[in-house]
């Protein structure tokens, strides 16, 4: 909760694991609504971000069966970006010790992510301007 939050800050906060952000001043009704939503997502996740977070938590705790079960739910979700599904599948393969498959899936995820970020049909998944890759100027005669 912070009065200085703006919509551009939300992607960075979500990458750091923040589930929801509220601007001050806030109403009691809105606060309870957000808290209830967070608890519901913890118990029965149905958004891609909640499912992805739970898969990664299961991988950290080396619970591969639970991670596989949650990944199956994640991959069936219609809101999931194809590159995200491949990326998470690569993480799961890595945890299982399937290194070559993990590598191949990670490469495929990067290719899908690049195609998807350029797609005009999905403007909400564009990279945040601060996350864009900056290219170093080329020096003639060097690499």
pLDDT of residue 69: 94
Q: Report the mean per-residue pLDDT for the chain.
A: 76
Q: Is 50 found in the same domain as 117?
A: yes
Q: What three-state secondary structure class fits 122?
A: coil
Which stretches within 21-141 are classed as H helix?
28-43, 48-60, 64-76, 82-95, 99-117
Q: Is 59 found in the same domain as 102?
A: yes
- Comparing 104 with 127, which gets the higher pLDDT? 104
Going by pLDDT thresholds of 50, 70 and 90, the confidence category of residue 50 is confident
Say if residue 48's pLDDT is above 80. Answer: yes
CA atoms within 13 A on the CB side of 72: 5
State the Cα–Cα distance between residues 136 and 139, nearest whole angstrom.
Answer: 9
State the Cα–Cα distance between residues 96 and 92, nearest whole angstrom.
Answer: 6
Percent of the chain with pLDDT over 70: 63
pLDDT of residue 133: 47
Going by pLDDT thresholds of 50, 70 and 90, the confidence category of residue 98 is very high
Q: Is 32 found in the same domain as 71?
A: no
Report yes or no on 37 lying in a domain.
yes
- Comparing 136 with 109, which gets the higher pLDDT? 109
Q: Is 39 found in the same domain as 98?
A: no
| Domain extent at residue 37 | 1-44
Report yes or no on 134 lying in a domain.
no
Report yes or no on 57 lying in a domain.
yes
State the Cα–Cα distance between residues 81 and 117, nearest whole angstrom.
Answer: 10
69 with 57: CB under 8 angstroms?
no
Say if residue 59's pLDDT is above 70. Answer: yes
pLDDT of residue 47: 81
Say if residue 126's pLDDT is above 80. Answer: no
Counting the structural domains of the chain, the total is 2
- Name residue, tokens 């191949």: 104
* Stretch 25-53: mean pLDDT: 79
- Comparing 59 with 141, which gets the higher pLDDT? 59
């Amino acid at each position: 909760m912070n009065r200085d939050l703006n919509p551009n800050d939300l992607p960075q906060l979500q990458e750091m694991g923040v589930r929801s952000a509220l601007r001050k001043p806030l109403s009691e009704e809105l606060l309870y609504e957000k808290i209830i939503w967070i608890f519901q997502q913890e118990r029965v996740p149905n958004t891609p971000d909640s499912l992805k977070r739970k898969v990664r938590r299961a991988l950290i705790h080396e619970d591969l069966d639970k991670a596989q079960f949650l990944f199956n739910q994640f991959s069936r979700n219609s809101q999931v970006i194809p590159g995200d599904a491949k990326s998470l599948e690569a993480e799961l393969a890595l945890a299982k010790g399937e290194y070559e498959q993990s590598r191949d899936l990670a490469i495929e995820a990067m290719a899908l992510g690049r195609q998807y970020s350029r797609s005009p049909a999905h403007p909400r998944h564009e990279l945040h301007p601060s996350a864009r890759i900056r290219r170093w100027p080329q020096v003639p005669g060097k690499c």
